[in-house]
Chain A
Amino acid sequence: MSAQTPYEPKIVAFLCKWCSSAGSDLAGVSRIQYPANATPITVACSGGVSPQFVLSAFHKGADGVLVSGCHIGDCHYMEGNFHARRKLYLVKELLEFTGVEPDRFRMSWVSAAEGAKFAQVVRDFVEDLRPLGPQDKLKAERP
């Protein structure tokens, strides 16, 4: 990103295929507009998102990482989002320990029926990331 363009947070959004990705599809079908900062990577289940993926995203220059799954209790794979919740909240602590603002990592539960909620999750995350500025603590090549 060149110095002239204003800062736009770059977000990697891991969306589970059954709920959150379907919810983002519904946002599309309903033509609900939201910022383009978050690029989706659809995964089978939020429980399959390794903490390593989150760190890898920060390492490669993400300003924020979103993991979004089915509502707790509604996981297509029965208990995947419980795994995600337990495991990925530890990522927040790890981020804090390494000096990265823990708010750069977010989890949300968005069902296939919640297109509007998905759009709102992205909007809120983008707004909350703006004051934090670019993430360069974990980025491989410092600017």
Chain B
Amino acid sequence: MSSGKRTGVFVCHCGNNIAATVDVVKVAQEMAGEEGVVCTKDYVYMCSDPGQKAVIEAIKENRLDSVVVTCCSPNLHEKTFRDNAKAAGLNSFTCEIANIREQCSWVHKDRGVATAKAIKISRSAVRRVGRNQALEPIAVGVTRRVLVIGGGIAGIQASLDLANAGLDVVLVEKQATLGGHMIQLSETFPTLDCSQCILSPKMVEVSRHPKITLMTYSEVQEVSGYVGNFKARILRKPTFVDPETCKLCDDCSQVCPVVVPNEYELGLTARRAIYIPFAQAMPASYTLDESACLGLNPIVCGKCKDVCEAGAINYDMRPRSEIVEVGAVVVATGFDLYGQDNLGEYGHGKYEDVLDGLQFERLCSASGPTKGKVLRPSDHSEPKDVVFIQCAGSRDPAQHCAWCSKICCMYTAKHASLYKHHVPDGRAWVFYIDIRSGGKGYEEFVQRTMENDEAIYLRGRVSRLYRENGKIRVLGTDTLSGQNVEIDADMVVLALAMQPSTGTAEAAKVLKIGRDKDGFLAEAHPKLKPVESVTAGIFLAGTAQGPKDIPETVAQASAAAAKVIGLLSQPQLSHAPTVARVRKAHCTGCEMCVDACPYDAIHLANGKAVVNDVLCEGCGACSATCLRAAIEVINATPLQMNEMIEAVLNF
């Protein structure tokens, strides 16, 4: 290699994080022997202000034209050091990072072995930078429209914040109405204000906002493009009812002969095939459930169409696809409950009087199936002994979910409190492992439930429950007294674990964004980028990212909105210039690269491949396919790769 470069290598100790395992001085010495390296330095914290200043000084003093920093993962400080190189007058693309912390010092103990590996990693970065070109980011336009996926409180809050900032918003919700899980809640902790009363006005605001296009009963099927310029294909499922014409008279559902479980009431009541999920549903319109309907055929049934005076029902509606162009995406696809079926020891979901937390919310709700009376589903009697079981599925890595679902301690206290308000002479038993009540006013709320509402808290788990004499026998342990406990309960409420919704899994697939080991959406950095996904332009909000309560969800939704506003307020975005480049003399126009490109960024002009720089993401699929090495990604060329391979093999 004869690059004629003047390269500087800066080896970071990272305190003891690197220096304890890797002989940083030896790494620097070895790099000094590399061709083109004119200066090496090691320093305790290269990313600190004095460290960065030292780099700038060394660049100026030694007239460096390229820089290698051997330190932590490029995900953390590549930008830091590239910006720093730029501040010293270099082109930021002539700075490369060698990761000798996450990929070396933290995973090996033997100093000799780790130092040898660190030298190989550093050397490969030095060889690579030797052939790096100075590049300028490619400017691209920005679409000032945002796609928000999910119409729960997270999606609603993000949409309103974005729209109020003047951006166009397309809000897509799978269900027939906005509201998500929050609209199913009776009251909210720790203030016990009514969930519908605080959410409905926001739902109305969304539907009336001139900047928001609401697409309910719709699903995002495909997203392509890149930050600032995404294209989403949205499936609009037919509701068979025109929301503009529907007068909400309810005549249709009165005559509908089909009865199916009501999802909004979690199966505690039934609905008809043509239905409105609940009175405050938004958009305020009926929906005809195609899967339940007898056949959308006037010969088979057609009762609803006959009775509709407004003429709002149209059996000929068909699903259609709509393409929307957006600059950013907020994913707010929410959670599902872990599912009683998963908990065999708690009755497999086969005992009617064993409910989950959301069902209990509906029993407490004034608009719920029992009009706000807490009654047993089996015989409609008032339960006098109710057992609440916390951590049903949570904090159980051996059998269920390893994580803490975070909200259950608080909502169980709320349930116990609400129950005692409804049935003052009843007894509320709560089985818990620990009480986690971090949050403003939360601990006080739990204490009030224990002291004022006299809920009986038992520290321990329930091993099993079964039905006996019309009651549910609950076998558990109170670990504080060391006694086994048996309770003949009239009703049992399980605080089921929160898990990522099926919609979250689907959204992750469609958007190609990562999920963590539990299936929640992965944030770009656990501390410093909590609302960004790994993909630029895609942001996360609410429980799709991890268990959280309503205030946290709202805060995260607003944070995601703020990030989007910041992104889309730039006049232009820059696109990475590390794109594919064609070596025209070698290209034979065989079109293999055209087929390999996932972005349709390559086309043929005059028998030679031409790359559209704005569409190219620099993945290298074209380069790996080309038989004549006629197309390569700038700054990751086959020549550079071969030199890196030599470097790591001491060849």
Contact = CB atoms under 8 A, between A and B. Distances in A.
Contacts of B645: 12, 41, 53, 56-57, 60, 62
Contacts of B646: 60
B534 interface: yes
Interface string A8-52: 001010000011011011111101111010011111110111111
Interface stretch (B109-117, B195-203, B248-256): B109-117
Contacts of A33: 107-109
Q: Which of B103, B113, B596 has the most CB of A within 10 A?
A: B103
Interface stretch (A79-87, A94-102, A126-134): A79-87
A113 interface: yes
Given A39-B117, A52-B638, A27 B649 contact: no
Interface in B91-128: 99, 101-104, 106-110, 113-114, 116-117, 120-121, 124
Nearest to A63: B649
A48 B638 CA distance: 10
B625 interface: yes
A66 interface: no
B598 A80 contact: yes
Contacts of A32: 107
B366 interface: no
A114 B514 CA distance: 11
B621 interface: yes
A41 B648 contact: yes
Contact of A39 (B120, B514, B619, B641): B120
A78 B108 contact: no
B649 A12 contact: yes
Interface in A98-112: 111-112
Nearest to A88: B624
Interface stretch (B278-286, B326-334, B515-523): B515-523
Contacts, number: 152
A140 B642 CA distance: 14
* Range of interface residues on A (Cβ < 8 Å): 35 or more
B121 A28 contact: no
**In this complex, which of B101, B107, B641 has the most chain A Cβ atoms within 10 angstroms of its Cβ?**
B107
B522 A112 contact: yes
Contacts of A79: 598, 621
A47 B25 CA distance: 37
Contacts of A19: 514
A76 B73 contact: no
Contacts of A119: 107
Most buried by B among A47, A49, A140: A47
A47 B624 contact: yes
Nearest to A112: B514
B620 interface: yes
Given A28-B106, A29-B102, A41-B124, A36 B117 contact: yes
Interface string B622-651: 011100000001001010011011101111
Nearest to A111: B514
Given A25-B102, A28-B103, A79-B598, A44 B620 contact: yes
Contacts of B120: 39
Given A25-B103, A36-B108, A62 B644 contact: no
Given A60-B649, A77-B621, A113 B517 contact: yes
Nearest to B509: A73
Nearest to B114: A36
B649 A113 contact: no
Contact of B642 (A26, A56, A78, A112): A56
B648 to A, nearest CB: 4
Contacts of A56: 641-642, 645
Given A31-B106, A56-B642, A76 B512 contact: yes
B638 A53 contact: yes
B598 A28 contact: no
A138 interface: no
B598 A78 contact: yes
A82 to B, nearest CB: 9
Contacts of B644: 41
B157 to A, nearest CB: 27
B42 interface: no
B621 A48 contact: yes
Given A62-B649, A78-B598, A47 B620 contact: yes
Interface string B73-99: 111000000000000000000000001
A48 B107 contact: no
Contact of B73 (A28, A31, A48, A50): A28
| Most chain A CB inside 10 Å of its own CB: which residue of B101, B106, B116, B619 | B619
A74 interface: yes
A60 B620 contact: no
Given A31-B106, A53-B638, A113-B517, A25 B75 contact: yes
B121 A40 contact: yes
Closest 4 CB pairs of A and B: A48-B620, A28-B102, A77-B619, A28-B106
Given A41-B124, A47-B621, A83-B596, 6 more contacts: A21-B103, A24-B103, A39-B649, A41-B641, A47-B624, A48-B633
Interface of B: 73-75, 99, 101-104, 106-110, 113-114, 116-117, 120-121, 124, 509, 512, 514-517, 522, 534-535, 596, 598-599, 617-621, 623-625, 633, 636, 638, 641-642, 644-646, 648-651
11 contacts: A29-B102, A43-B636, A44-B617, A74-B512, A74-B514, A75-B512, A77-B598, A79-B598, A79-B621, A87-B625, A140-B651
